[in-house]
Copies of this chain bind each other. A is one copy, B any other.
Amino acid sequence: MKERDDRIFRLVVSKMAVERQGEELPQVLVLGPPWVFSTLESQFPNKFHFLKPWDSELSLHQFLISYAQSTQALLIPAVIHTLNSAILDCLPSLKLIITTSAGVDHLNLPELRGRGIAIAYAGNLYSEDVADMAVGLLIDVLRNVTAGDRFVRQRLWPTKPDFPLGLKLSGKQIGIVGLGKIGFEVAKRLEGFGCRISYNSKTKKPLVPYSYYSNVHELASNCEVLIICCGLTEETHHIINREVMLALGKNGVIINIARGAVINEKEMIQCLVEREIGGAGLDVFEIEPEIPKQLFTLHNVVLSRHAAITTHESFVGMSKLVVENLEAFFSNKPLVSPYMGY
């Protein structure tokens, strides 16, 4: 009995604390794993009152009903897929969602539009970091950097002499799937390596010096490398399939820094195992963080933990951008990085 009373007392005190703070500062609900959020709170302790369901003993539903009825702003500091209608129904005052990702495929855009909820997102904040990572993964796969490091750390140099030769990057024909900001940054970097750039996108871009192909199959047929830089939509889901990979060819390399499901992962693994393509550098996967076991056994693959954006600099930049968007929102000013594509 005492235990129950204690629990109720703690909840009441906690509710009072939440409400007291809420009276003073603009309220922002935070959903999802708090890792990017962690320093944000300590950096800006007096600007906002952050509601943190993970700190509560209540279920998420109970928490939202108890504390978030008047919450206007929601921050999603990682890609989460649980922002469904049931949650939105608990947030009748919601007017803004800030996602810290550059993709918005985890959001139900028609529903948010229907509810009149605005979106702020990372915009181009990560484009350089993501492009850097794409080039890094490409050199790594072509030149066996990670496989070579593994080889050396296993003390196989020089006792095992038959480590495979790599493939030269300079001069390669590169196909960029999706020539948005990230695709452009990748292209700019690879021009410095003397690569020839082609691309596929919905429409031909004006004033772009690169060769345009209206479909990915044709692009793959004319390239030795495909770098996936497009957003994940119904049109791009599984756009890189077995046929495209066969067109790319046995020395072909695929780099994916976009979203896992742009590639038919099952068919890609089959192509990698059967050496129908040469290798892959993968920062993203179809069902993260699940990585198909077969990939762990392959040496022509470099695996990355959805880390293309994870630099100190982007972390600091994103914290700043979140605060700027929140300040703009609560001052009735235009958002700093609104998502306009819905």
Residues in A lying within 8 Å of B, measured CB to CB:
35, 128-129, 131-133, 135-137, 139-140, 142-146, 148-153, 155, 157-158, 161, 163, 165-171, 188-194, 289, 291, 296, 302-305, 307, 310-315
Cross-chain contact of A312 among B139, B165, B191 (Cβ < 8 A): B165
Asked whether A168 and B311 contact (CB < 8 A) given A135-B139, A139-B132, the answer is yes
Pair B128/A163 contact, Cβ less than 8 Å: no
Taking the closest CB of chain B, its distance from the CB of A160, in whole angstroms, is 10
Pair B302/A128 contact, Cβ less than 8 Å: no
Pair B143/A145 contact, Cβ less than 8 Å: no
* 14 interchain pairs, CB-CB under 8 A: A129-B168, A132-B139, A133-B139, A135-B135, A136-B139, A136-B145, A140-B140, A145-B302, A150-B150, A153-B296, A157-B291, A167-B312, A168-B313, A192-B192
Pair B312/A152 contact, Cβ less than 8 Å: no
Residues on the B chain within 8 Å of A166, using CB: 307, 310-312
Pair A169/B132 contact, Cβ less than 8 Å: yes
Residues on the B chain within 8 Å of A189, using CB: 189, 192-193
CA distance A149 to B315 in the complex (A): 21
CA distance A194 to B192 in the complex (A): 11
Pair B170/A305 contact, Cβ less than 8 Å: no
New A-B pairs, 8, CB < 8 Å, besides A143-B307, A165-B310? A132-B143, A136-B145, A140-B140, A145-B145, A146-B150, A163-B305, A190-B192, A192-B193
Residues on the B chain within 8 Å of A136, using CB: 136, 139-140, 143, 145
Quick one: closest B residue to A189, CB to CB? B192
Residues on the B chain within 8 Å of A157, using CB: 289, 291, 305
Pair B304/A167 contact, Cβ less than 8 Å: no
Asked whether A170 and B128 contact (CB < 8 A) given A145-B140, A146-B146, A315-B165, the answer is yes
Quick one: closest B residue to A151, CB to CB? B305
Pair A291/B145 contact, Cβ less than 8 Å: no
CA distance A169 to B188 in the complex (A): 14
Taking the closest CB of chain B, its distance from the CB of A191, in whole angstroms, is 6
Quick one: closest B residue to A194, CB to CB? B128
Pair B312/A168 contact, Cβ less than 8 Å: yes
Pair B312/A132 contact, Cβ less than 8 Å: no
Residues on the B chain within 8 Å of A158, using CB: 289, 305
Residues on the B chain within 8 Å of A144, using CB: 307
Taking the closest CB of chain B, its distance from the CB of A322, in whole angstroms, is 17
Taking the closest CB of chain B, its distance from the CB of A295, in whole angstroms, is 9
Taking the closest CB of chain B, its distance from the CB of A165, in whole angstroms, is 5
Residues on the B chain within 8 Å of A305, using CB: 148, 151-152, 157-158, 163
CA distance A296 to B153 in the complex (A): 6
CA distance A247 to B200 in the complex (A): 46
Shortest Cβ-Cβ A-B pairs, 3 listed: A192-B192, A136-B139, A168-B313
Pair A170/B139 contact, Cβ less than 8 Å: no
